[in-house]
Amino acid sequence: MPPEVRRKEVPPALSAIVLKLLAKTPEERYQTAAGLEADLRRCLDDWESRGRIEPFVLGAHDASDRLLIPEKLYGRDLESKALLEAFERVVTRGAPELVLISGYSGIGKSSVVNELHRAIVLPRGIFISGKFDQYKRDIPYATLAQAFRTLVRQILSKNEAGVRRRRDAIRDAVGLNGQLLIDLIPELELVIGEQPPVPELPPLDAENRFQAVFRAFLGVFARKEHPLALFLDGMQWLDAATLKLLEHLITHSEVRHLLIIGAYRDNEVGPSHPLMLTLDSIRKTSAMVRDIVLAPLSPDDVGQMVAESVHQERALTDPLARLVYEKTAGNPFFVIQFLTALAEERLIEFDAREDDVVGQVEVTIAAADDTLPDIARRFNVGYEEIVRANPGVDPWLPGVGREIVLPTQFVLPDAPRTGLVINVAAMRLYYFPPRTKGQRAVVITHPIGIGKVGWSTPEGVTRIVARVKDPTWIPPESVRKEHREDGDELPSRVPAGPDNPLGAYMFRLAWPTYLIHGTNKPYGVGMRSSHGCVRLYPEDIELLYESIPIGTPVRVVNQPLVLGWQGATLYAQAFGPLEGDRPASHALRPTRAKIDKKQSRLALRLKERDADIDWEAAQQLAHEPTGVPVPVMRGVPSSSAAVIAAAERVRNTLPAGATWNGRMEASDEQQYREVLGAREAPLATAGANGGARP
């Protein structure tokens, strides 16, 4: 009962907040304390200013930074309706019915049945379930025992009068044969008490006796006032004894008000399987048997699921949904796992409160034979990022059991949040998909490789003019000349394939000869190793390829020090300067000058919060950059060590769905060392007027 009904003085808006807090499904509740606080403050403001609370839309400022996939069924309306109609027939007609749900693993068989469970809770009906185990196929009736054990425990949770009613009904039904059921369900002895032993019978007679006793026991619960729904999952693994008992129950004239729902993987059950043979026999009787075959979700269903999971409009999420459908073939379980993996690996980021800081710093443990580049790729960071965050750690031999800092929290660059923003100092790309008014901002971020000394990646604003899959590389003459001088003659054309340095996907920019592309040399991601183009890990460029349309603006900035807000706290993130650039500490001077003159957005927000920057802490961070965001406000503890100490500890595992083996090849390590060694001898600048320079 809503609070406003119980107490008429409770305003409807406040009553709605309470009901939202108590909502049955997680996605209907508040996702953040900040969202609840915003609604309560709205109520308080109205009450203090008007003496009443006007109705308003709840949760307008409630946006979680976690992926929360709705607990609802997608694309299963007809199947759910068919199952509910079967239960209604059992209610009205009384005749038992068997409904079989088939489909591949992960297709959603159990989820469809759970919808029925929600609809038939007591007093309307009784729902119990059990699941067959492929390793217990030799134990007769084990799954039935599992299902009815739950029911017996429900009886034991009632008061003494309720237990007594069930005790009397069961004793009357089974007579002197109660020990047969106690042998199957030991907990039943707590309800009906100790029972006398039953006489031994020949096997066939014993089986017939057990079926009759179980049928009578089942009749205590399967009644007109509360029909019984029995769900048996994994029927491809059912035992022979249970199969015979189910055939007996569904075809016997004395069984009433029983709905048996069986789920099985149709790809594991052939025509000669005992289940199929028994079903053929049942269908020849007058018993009611219904089949529900679950197909994969349609692209439209997957699109709706993705859009509601990331809280965006379909038009915005359709590129991601197409990729998800392609990778999962519409299997609901795989869709959930794929989206979860994307979120866990920071391939999808939520900027829920319009903050400037996304992600969180984490710490993992180095395993045997790990290198920092191995760990970096697993957690979607680049070489320079992970080395900078772990000073003093040998990149090639970090040591088994050593804690490794994962710099997976980022202060967004000081740039318009549209299209692609590339901060070359951070060696990181940020994609801000378009959104409509009122939508939450989403940012997708990946590490990148950029132009080496003498071939710097240009700064400024451009746009994407073409997308190419499996591109051909035409090396510019300047690049061919460089290779020729090193004794490495490049061909005039390099076709798509493992030898193509552009990888499998490419975005062409309006700047002639400059690209954003994948690579056949993942070791270069997170380093200055290209001829000016931007490189991504192969798995990252594949995700972006379908999501970023032609015409998307691209802004390249060089910001070795970035400041931004997370809630009421100001953070700074510093990176080592690129060769030839001034250190990050120089970036503090114009920032401080603008704040002193009240000429920046940052200055206004500091004034709003009555806060001050700890310039000493900011200067220290700029002089010793770790790439880890650190609070830089007076009165707030500010050090990389404190942030790292509070970081979440995570497992060092290969991401779900990874397309690589988690280990850098020996040849990659050698090329790492060659690239790093070449930094001390900058190459002469060379122009390029044809092709593209990867």
Q: Whose CA is closest to 629, among 388, 437, 312?
A: 388
Q: Whose CA is closest to 291, among 431, 100, 109, 425?
A: 100
How far is it, in rounded angstroms, from Cα 386 to Cα 430? 18
Q: Whose CA is closest to 643, among 439, 374, 359, 447?
A: 359
Residue type, 181: L
Contacts of 666 by beta carbon, 8 Å cutoff, 6+ apart: none
DSSP helix/strand/coil, 445: strand
Contacts of 406 by beta carbon, 8 Å cutoff, 6+ apart: 361, 362, 363, 364, 375, 379, 381, 386, 389, 647, 650
Sign, Cα dihedral of 591, 593, 598, 603:
positive
Contacts of 442 by beta carbon, 8 Å cutoff, 6+ apart: 310, 312, 348, 349, 350, 351, 432, 433, 435
Q: Whose CA is closest to 681, among 426, 396, 524, 486?
A: 486
- Tell me: cis bond preceding 629? Omega within 30 of 0 counts: no
Q: How many CA within 13 A on the CB side of residue 51? A: 0
DSSP helix/strand/coil, 553: strand
Cβ neighbour number for residue 432 with a 10 Å cutoff: 21
Distances (CA, A) of 397 to 178, 368, 373, 400, 691: 67, 9, 11, 8, 39
Active site residue 252: no
How far is it, in rounded angstroms, from Cα 465 to Cα 473? 17
Active-site option among 248, 533, 586, 623: 533
Active-site option among 517, 531, 586, 623: 517
The answer to whether 692 and 502 have CB atoms below 8 angstroms apart is yes
Active site residue 533: yes
Cβ neighbour number for residue 248 with a 10 Å cutoff: 17
- Segments of 70-163 assigned E as strands: 97-102, 126-131
The answer to whether 279 and 289 have CB atoms below 8 angstroms apart is yes
Which residues are the active-site residues?
517, 533
